[in-house]
């Protein structure tokens, strides 16, 4: 999801090497960064000016069931990235997550102390700590509820709702007890560019403006899709999905971009504006099926 946005943002005026273990785009090359030696060889051969480490296993349930794999993918390669960047004398960019907080507060800024709840959050926070403690120059940019990539790449909340609508659903069951801040991938990549160009190193929350809920996001999505009168939302608690989503999650993942705002470099738009653009660009003809009759 995020790699596609970074590639689109930086390809205009930079030479890029983009890698993944799933080579599903012409601009991608294969690399398994869990292989520390291969990671080092690949980066040193390309000799970049910046190393952007985007990859991670983001499926919380998978991480909870496969803890070793979570740390092997989300933590150890970050340590490799820091060593490589330090060897080359270049900055490293690491993507953090709002999920590292315990949700006991409504809103979190960069000075709040994380308290990760599950293996995904712990593995991501461990990477963040290593970057902060050992990288010579770094950006740690924390994302909220990610949206981006469209039907082929989006594995998060927006596409789950859109997929149900695509299949003709008239009833949606949406939790009413989860708080957060959406993060549009293209806004995120643009804000990272601003920080890199100004060399404002450090830790930054980077979420869209407008703190919200899963329920409110779903309602706005239906409104933008002109399905608000045809589809009914049923409000449920998180317990309703406890069988499917059993990994621990914070009640609140709301991020405040305090450091971006204090430095005057916050270009993240309101989540409603970003969601509208996202749906227009990526889902314009996605909901062509007829809403099925009960």
Domain of 103: which CATH number? 3.40.50.720
User: Which of 64-68, 217-221, 282-286, 287-291 has the least mean pLDDT?
Assistant: 287-291
Instruction: Note whether residue 15 is domain-resident.
Output: yes
- Confidence check: pLDDT of 290 > 70: no
Span 123-135, average pLDDT: 98
Per the CB < 8 A criterion, the answer to whether 268 and 260 are in contact is: yes
Residue 165 has what pLDDT? 95
243 inside domain: no
Structural contact between residues 4 and 185, judged by C-beta atoms closer than 8 angstroms: yes
What's the mean pLDDT in 148-164?
94
Q: Has residue 110 been placed in a domain?
A: yes
Residue 245 within a domain: no
pLDDT category at 147 given cuts 50, 70, 90 is very high
Report the percent of the chain where pLDDT is more than 90.
94
Phi and psi at 29, nearest 5°, equal: -115, 160
Using DSSP's 3-state secondary structure scheme, residue 146 falls into strand
Give 292 or 177, the one with higher predicted confidence: 177
Q: For the full predicted model, state whether its pTM sits above 0.85.
A: yes
For residue 219, tell me if it sits in a domain: no
Confidence of residue 159 (pLDDT cuts 50, 70, 90): very high
For 31-68, the pLDDT digits (tens) are: 999 999 999 999 999 999 999 999 999 999 999 999 99
Which pairs count as long-range contacts for 125-129, CB under 8 Å and 24+ apart, including other chains? 125/96, 125/100, 126/71, 126/74, 126/75, 126/78, 127/74, 127/75, 127/78, 127/79, 127/94, 127/96, 128/94, 128/96, 128/100, 128/203
CA separation for the pair 173, 16 (Å, rounded):
41
pLDDT band at 287 (very low <50, low <70, confident <90, very high): confident
What total number of domains does the chain contain?
Answer: 1
Q: Please state, for a pLDDT cut of 70, what percent of the chain lies above it.
A: 98
Indicate whether 201 pLDDT > 80. Answer: yes
* 70-122 confidence digits (pLDDT tens): 999 999 999 999 999 999 999 999 999 999 999 999 999 999 999 999 999 99
The stretch 202-231 carries a mean pLDDT of 95
In a domain, 202, yes or no: yes
pLDDT of residue 294: 39
For residue 293, pLDDT beyond 70: no
When the pLDDT of each residue in the chain is averaged and rounded to a whole number, the result is: 95
pLDDT of amino acid 91:
98
Q: Is residue 224 part of a domain?
A: no
Q: List CB contacts of 105: < 8 A, sequence separation 6 or more.
A: 112, 252
The answer for residues whose C-beta is within 8 angstroms of residue 46's C-beta and 6 or more apart is 17
Q: What is the mean pLDDT of residues 20-32?
A: 95
Q: What is the pLDDT of residue 234?
A: 97
Residue 291's pLDDT band, with cuts at 50, 70 and 90, is very low
Quote the domain boundaries for residue 192: 2-154+181-211+253-270
With respect to residue 63, please indicate whether it lies within any of the assigned structural domains: yes
Mean pLDDT of 142-149: 96
């Amino acid at each position: 999801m995020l790699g596609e946005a970074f590639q689109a943002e930086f390809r205009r005026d930079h030479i890029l090497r983009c890698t993944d273990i799933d080579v599903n785009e012409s601009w991608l090359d294969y690399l398994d960064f869990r292989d520390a030696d291969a990671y080092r060889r690949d980066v040193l051969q390309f000799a970049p000016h910046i190393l952007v480490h985007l990859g991670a296993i983001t499926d919380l349930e998978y991480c909870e069931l496969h803890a070793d794999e979570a740390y092997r993918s989300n933590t150890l390669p970050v340590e490799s990235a820091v060593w490589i960047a330090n060897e080359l004398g270049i900055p490293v960019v690491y993507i953090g997550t709002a999920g590292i907080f315990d949700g006991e507060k409504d809103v979190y800024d960069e000075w709040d102390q994380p308290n990760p709840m599950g293996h995904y959050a712990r593995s991501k926070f461990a990477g963040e700590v290593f970057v902060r403690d050992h990288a010579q120059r770094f950006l740690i940019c924390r994302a909220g509820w990610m949206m981006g990539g469209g039907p082929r790449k989006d594995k998060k909340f927006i596409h789950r709702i859109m997929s149900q609508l695509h299949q003709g659903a008239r009833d949606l069951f949406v939790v009413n007890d989860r708080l957060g801040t959406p993060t549009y991938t293209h806004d995120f990549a643009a804000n990272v560019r601003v920080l890199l160009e100004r060399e404002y190193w450090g830790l930054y929350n980077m979420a869209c403006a407008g703190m919200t809920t899963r329920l409110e996001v779903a309602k706005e999505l239906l409104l933008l899709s002109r399905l608000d009168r045809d589809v009914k939302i049923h409000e449920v608690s998180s317990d309703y999905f406890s069988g499917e989503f059993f990994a621990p999650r914070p009640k609140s993942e709301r991020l405040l971009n305090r450091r971006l705002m204090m430095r005057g470099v916050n270009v993240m738009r309101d989540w409603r504006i970003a969601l509208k653009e996202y749906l227009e660009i990526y889902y314009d003809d996605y909901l062509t099926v007829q809403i099925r009759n009960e």
